[in-house]
Chain A
Amino acid sequence: QKEVEQDPGPLSVPEGAIVSLNCTYSNSAFQYFMWYRQYSRKGPELLMYTYSSGNKEDGRFTAQVDKSSKYISLFIRDSQPSDSATYLCAMRVDQGGKLIFGQGTELSVKP
């Protein structure tokens, strides 16, 4: 079993839809959770960074962490074609620790 599981998609939605991206993990020691967006032929761009459980909102993006269920989510409201990219979840145990990535979900937002 992989430490971090993420549905690779692809996921296709119409413009304006609410998108839900999810990851599950097995290591209960993970405390730091990140979501990255990666456009084709570009490096990953940090979107959201969350410590421990709870929600964090930034514009159209909301990150949720449920440590009891070992489940994290990224919600995108009012999705735009420019949101079309691969979204990677990542997490680590402590501040200097190794970042473990999910497989990435490919999202396509159709105009």
Chain B
Amino acid sequence: SAVISQKPSRDICQRGTSLTIQCQVDSQVTMMFWYRQQPGQSLTLIATANQGSEATYESGFVIDKFPISRPNLTFSTLTVSNMSPEDSSIYLCSATGNSGSKYYNEQFFGPGTRLTVL
């Protein structure tokens, strides 16, 4: 499977600050996604990170709050802006295998970034 790494693995932040989470995939992938998983809950898609263009956000998520970059086929960042305690969650990066790979159409996840906002 594709190996996805995230930095930082966890952080504790103050209200009103911003945190940028990095996601690196070990091979070129077609699509990259950002999810949020609140304690004891399932995964909620925040946005699809598009290479070379603006991210596509799901209902309830906006670019001003969650700006996303994807400068190339293996890297993406998610920023959580002007944080409040309600943003405390696990943020997960995900990717689907490239059309030329045996993992095409399979979707993999990174280990997650555990964010606590005080």
Q: Name A residues whose Cβ lies closer than 8 Å to a Cβ of B.
A: 32, 34, 36, 41-46, 49, 88, 90, 95-96, 98-99, 101-104
Q: Name B residues whose Cβ lies closer than 8 Å to a Cβ of A.
A: 1, 4, 30-31, 33, 41-43, 45, 48, 58, 92, 96, 105-112, 114
Known contacts A101-B42, A101-B43; A43/B112 CB under 8 A: yes
14 further A-B pairs in the complex, CB-CB below 8 A; given A46-B1, A46-B108, A49-B106: A34-B106, A36-B109, A41-B114, A43-B92, A43-B110, A44-B92, A46-B109, A88-B43, A96-B30, A98-B45, A98-B48, A99-B107, A101-B43, A103-B42
Residue pair A42, B112 in contact (C-beta under 8 Å): yes
- Cα A94 to Cα B38 in complex, Å, equals 27
- Interface of chain B, helix or strand or loop or mixed? strand
With a CB–CB cut-off of 8 A, which chain B residues contact A34? 106-107
Residue pair A45, B43 in contact (C-beta under 8 Å): no
Residue pair B31, A96 in contact (C-beta under 8 Å): yes
